[in-house]
Structure 1
Amino acid sequence: MNKTDRLLAIVLELQRQDVRRAEDLAALFETSVRTIYRDIQALCEAGVPIIGAPGTGYSLMEGFFLPPISFTVQEAVSLLMGTDFIEQQFDDDYRVKAQEARCKIEAILPERVLDETSRVRNVMRLLHSDKEHQSKEREYLERIRRAILEKRKINFHYVKKFADAEGERHSVRTVAPYGLVLVEGSWMLVAYCDLRQDIRHFRLSRITELIDLKERFELPLHFKLSQYTPLDDRSLFVRIRFNHDIADKVKESNYHYIVDMEEHQDGFYVDLRVRHLDEVLQWVLGWGADAVVLEPKALQHRICEEAQKILKRY
């Protein structure tokens, strides 16, 4: 941290805390106490009203706020909840920056707004999965993010959800990374794949052995991640009839392959579109006898086969 950034950070820290000792500031900013003394003197000479009490520490004159920014409670909650989200979902670099940003925001909030903001945040909470594999995913997230910004290609091993026509699930890919998208709590890489000669999507949780390459790429002028819409290749239509008494549970499942739902006299009808029948097989089986596949016939046969396998196990 350079001197200018440290001077501003000291003022913000003094705004956040009533009194801070030079030793505390030195430990916080990883510098010497003598440097903190010089910084305090520089701030005083610049007109910042810092009060020093021997044996107690430094504090700002009452009523002094820097910078002169005013937030409503709703704005403050939005910003602070945003830092919570970044801290939970982004890589370690941004996690640290989110913590620092939260401290800066809290430092400039008037006490009344800060108290009200705390009350609102105490009744709202962001929950996320804390699985072990996410540590590797976050490491890859940071490396891929840097590769995107530096326009460098990457190489990795990828495990597909379903086998291809040759029965293979594992492949090695070299791609030009275009962007990262958070979809239902999972990070997806949008990239141009050298193997497929087209844009493909890769779930970070299925990536292993990531290698940063020196080879550069140029982002196509027509590509804008904010405007990018992937081609919908879900060509298989599936219709399922559920018992009325579990209709609410089906709605609450928010299954992303569902395209339509409607009530009928004989049951609750759900239409889905998928790429492979395997994508919907486990979901249908999870509803047990409360779900009946109406079409396609191929899925009916798969359900019967799985039911027979289950029966043999018991």
Structure 2
Amino acid sequence: MNKTDRQLAIMLELQRSKILRAEDMAALFETSVRTIYRDIQALSEMGIPILGAPGQGYSLMEGYFLPPIGFSAEEAVTLLMGTDFIEQRLDGDYGNIAKAARHKIEAILPEAVRGESMRVRETMRLLQASESVTGLREKDYLGQARRAILERRKLRISYQKNMPETDGNRKSMREVAPYGLSLVEGYWILIGHCDLRQDIRHFRLSRMTELVVLDKHFAMPHGFNLSHYRPPDDRNERVLVRANPEMADKISETANFYTEAVEERTDGVWFHFRVRTPEELLHLILSWGGDVEVLEPESLRCRIREEAEKIFKRY
């Protein structure tokens, strides 16, 4: 930490903690007590109203706040919960930055607003759609991929596909030019140009078993903007499922991405799904149990029957 950053941090700590000893600040900023004394003197010469009490420590004059920014309790909660999210979902570098940002935000809040924002935060909690936090391995891959994107360096990844290839193998090794990262339904997705497929592909970080940053560089396509990028919709297969009415809400929640239309009929609720391959819905349909029936296609009906027979044999 350089001198300027340390002196700003000292002001923020004094504003947050009200009173601090030089020894405590030296331990916090990993420097000597003499350096803290020099920093306090420099801040005082700049007009910062720092008060010293023998045997107690240093404090800022009451009513002095830096920087002169006012947040309501709701605004403070918005910022602080944002740092919570970053710490949960991004890699270690940004996790540490989020902690530092949260510390600074809390430090500049007047005591009344800080107390109110703490009460509001205690009534809310961030929960992710699929898991509580991004896993450690996924965070590591996220950090490496993020840096590779900025440095325009290719990645070599070992990838576990959700559906097997034509040869039955689920694992594949790819070289990818990484264009960006996107958080989709609780999962980090790497978007990049796959050398094997010669096209833009999406790779879920949680399915990677290895990620290596290569020395090979690449050029970003002219005009590519991740914020404007929309992947082509190649879900060309249709699946028709009939469900008992009491299952309709659960199916709508768990298969919303695939749902094209829903019909309420006398014999149940009919769901029209659009997928890349019918087997994408296999595990979902099995989780819905006997309250649903696949009507089309026949190939998926047979696949469900095979799985049901395997389950029956086990029990």
Give, in whole Å, the separation in 1 of the partners of 2:60 and 2:279: 64
1:254–1:64 CA distance, 2 compared to 1 (3 A): farther
Q: CA deviation at 1:170?
A: 1.6
1:209 corresponds to which residue? Answer: 210
Q: Does 1:118 align with 2:91?
A: no
Q: Does 1:175 align with 2:176?
A: yes
Instruction: Report the more deviating stretch, 174-183 or 68-77.
Output: 68-77
1:253–1:160 CA distance, 2 compared to 1 (3 A): closer
Query: What SS does structure 2 have at the residue aligned with 1:271?
Result: strand
Give, in whole Å, the separation in 1 of the partners of 2:88 and 2:121: 16
Count of residue pairs brought into register by the alignment: 313
Give, in whole Å, the separation in 1 of the partners of 2:201 and 2:214: 19
Q: CA deviation at 1:30?
A: 1.1
1:288–1:146 CA distance, 2 compared to 1 (3 A): same
2:35 corresponds to which residue? Answer: 35
Of all paired residues, the percent bearing the same amino acid is 59
Query: What SS does structure 2 have at the residue aligned with 1:262?
Result: strand
Give, in whole Å, the separation in 1 of the partners of 2:265 and 2:123: 40
2:81 corresponds to which residue? Answer: 81
* 1:24-45 deviation per Cα after TM superposition (whole angstroms, max 9, x unaligned): 1111111111111110010001
* 1:32-80 deviation per Cα after TM superposition (whole angstroms, max 9, x unaligned): 1111111001000110000011111110000101111112222211111
Q: Does 1:12 align with 2:12?
A: yes
**Contiguous gaps of at least 5 residues in structure 2:** none
* 1:157-192 deviation per Cα after TM superposition (whole angstroms, max 9, x unaligned): 111111112222222111111000111111110011
Q: CA deviation at 1:209?
A: 2.6
1:248–1:130 CA distance, 2 compared to 1 (3 A): closer
Query: What SS does structure 2 have at the residue aligned with 1:226?
Result: coil
Q: CA deviation at 1:302?
A: 1.1
- Over aligned residues, Cα RMSD in angstroms? 1.5
1:184 corresponds to which residue? Answer: 185
Give, in whole Å, the separation in 1 of the partners of 2:223 and 2:180: 14
**TM-score if structure 2 supplies the norm length?**
0.95
Query: What SS does structure 2 have at the residue aligned with 1:154?
Result: strand
Give, in whole Å, the separation in 1 of the partners of 2:163 and 2:176: 20
* 1:181-210 deviation per Cα after TM superposition (whole angstroms, max 9, x unaligned): 111111110011111111111111121232
1:272 corresponds to which residue? Answer: 273
Q: CA deviation at 1:247?
A: 2.0
Q: How does 1:1-314 map to 2 (within 5 A)?
A: 1-128=1-128, 129=131, 134-253=135-254, 255-314=256-315
Runs of 4+ in 1 over 4 A off after TM superposition: none
Give, in whole Å, the separation in 2 of the partners of 1:252 and 1:223: 33
